[in-house]
Amino acid sequence: MKKTKTMLPLSLLLSFLLLFTLALPATAEFDYDLIYDEAEAFDESFLSEYGRVILPDLAERYEMDIRVDILADRELSMTLPELAAYYYDRYEYGYGYNLDGLTLTIWLQSDNNGFELRDYTVYANGFGEKYIDSVSDALQPWLMADSWSGDFNADENSLLQALYILSDTVETVGEALLAEGYSPSAEPFDNPNGKTADVLPEYSASSYVMDAAGLLNATEAEQLAAKAGLLAEEYGCGVYLMTVPNFKTVTSQREVYEAARELYQRFDLGLGTDKTGELLLLSMAERDYALITHGEGNTIFSEYAQIKLEDEFLDDFKDDDWYNGFDDYLDMCETALKMAAEGTPMNAANDPGTLMAGRVFGVLMALGISLAIFAVLASGHRNVMEKEEASAFLVPNSFHMTGQRDNFVNRNVSRRYIPPKSSGGGSSHSGGGFSGRSGKF
């Protein structure tokens, strides 16, 4: 026990030292989105264009994160490849659900002539491994210690040329992979229950929980299906949950909202002649979701109600809490269905939460008015008044003043920054008998 108590402060101290040693470069001044230049000495316009335009365009086209970290004047507590892997994991680099990506990490040391190239490494994750050999081979001539002459201009040219080679090689390999039919979207989704599905089962209108991505265990799926089934039986509206590894591999669509519409129609979802229902679709590859309604569902689940539904499940899904997210979603669906059945579909005017807030506001307003009236009445009985001039405290005719003046000495002003409001959530859609929302979780 004594040994444990003695070592604990030491372990904490070492942890803090490691934290400072591995401080993320992204907190420094020269951060160009996908390129970080800790040396703070190279061509800013070139790095800005590559970090904010060229590399992001390549990342979007080939569905793969591409980053460059330039480290300078630091001692490392681990090897550079280990540090590159640490940064990738700790700071959540990567594209899509499987975090596909490629990073170039360069380690420099300043000297009298500019910078000495200490080391470099190329790190890949997921689909990025298909690029790493070609990129490493292409970069080698420009990132060898012997290729840096010690002249700053020549060394800067070598660095910038390496970035050009990086982007050019990624584009060459990426186009070749696309021509062969390879893309991260076609890669299997690594889900918690070990199931993959490129071809969906034959679902039907009575399949209320369709978990092709395998986010739920059998017990969870059964409980949610039973709950959705009771809603359908009582209100005549199908409420569906569907998860897929990647909507792009199981539909012909490139947008998740259109994919949800296609799947709704493919499996003939909805109840009654007008196919009344609502579908919540999760696509795991890039964490997309769509919420769509059809038939009478468009009236039951207005845009206001859809936003309320998003508020219920998005916070859970962002924490990968799938069961509670779906359960909260079904609870809010039940509230909306019940209100519609009573003739008051959910909107801002009759939302129970809004009404309660209005009642509370009314009580507070009444209390405030009452206090104001009391203060006015009480003020008429006060015989002690605030005085602002020193002369008010003198006994009349006891002191003769030949002149007077007021001197401004100082003032204290408090300012508080109020940041602008930022919008969140998904975007709205309508048309073709459907309405709904979509976004990221």
pLDDT tens per residue, range 239-294: 999 999 988 888 878 889 989 999 999 999 999 999 999 999 999 988 999 999 99
State the angle between helix axes of 132-139 and 152-179 in degrees (0 to 180), rounded to the nearest 10: 150
Per-residue confidence (pLDDT) for residue 7, from 0 to 100: 43
CA distance 289 to 283: 6
pLDDT at residue 335 in the model: 94
Residue 334 half-sphere exposure toward CB, CA atoms < 13 A: 14
Gyration radius from the chain CA atoms: 32
* Neighbouring residues of 274: CB distance < 8 A, sequence distance ≥ 6: 294, 295, 296
pLDDT confidence of residue 109? 87
Domains and CATH numbers, the chain: 22-185 (3.10.310.50), 209-348+432-440 (3.10.310.50)
In whole angstroms, what is the distance from residue 220 CA to residue 322 CA? 10
Question: How far is it, in rounded angstroms, from Cα 72 to Cα 86?
Answer: 17
Task: Report the alpha-carbon distance of residue 142 to residue 238 in Å, rounded.
Answer: 61
- Average pLDDT of the chain, as a whole number: 79
Tell me the pLDDT band of 300, cut-offs 50, 70 and 90.
very high
Closest CA to 292 of 260, 247, 334: 260
Distances (CA, A) of 253 to 30, 90, 246, 258: 39, 33, 11, 6
Please give the pLDDT value at position 131.
95
pTM: 0.47
Write phi, then psi, for 403 (nearest 5 degrees): -165, 160
SS3 73: coil
Tokens of 428: 């709205």
Max distance between CA atoms of the chain, in angstroms, equals 105
Say whether pLDDT at 176 is over 90: yes
Do residues 107 and 80 touch, judged by C-beta distance below 8 A? yes
**CA distances (Å), 76 to each of 81, 107, 108, 260, in order?**
11, 10, 12, 49
Residue 116 has phi, psi (to 5 degrees) of: -100, 135
Return the pLDDT at 415: 37
- Decide if 98 contacts 189 (C-beta within 8 A): yes
Q: How many helices (H) and strands (E) does the chain have?
A: 13, 11
List phi, psi (to 5°) of 251.
-135, 175
Confidence band of 145 (pLDDT split at 50, 70, 90): confident
- C-alpha span between 423 and 439 (Å, rounded): 13
Residue 189 CA to residue 206 CA, distance in Å, equals 26
Measured CA to CA, the distance from residue 415 to residue 432 in angstroms comes to 52
Q: Are 328 and 309 in contact (CB under 8 A)?
A: no
- Return the amino acid letter for 134: S
Q: Tell me, what's the pLDDT at 268?
A: 92
Q: How far apart are the first and last CA of the chain?
A: 46
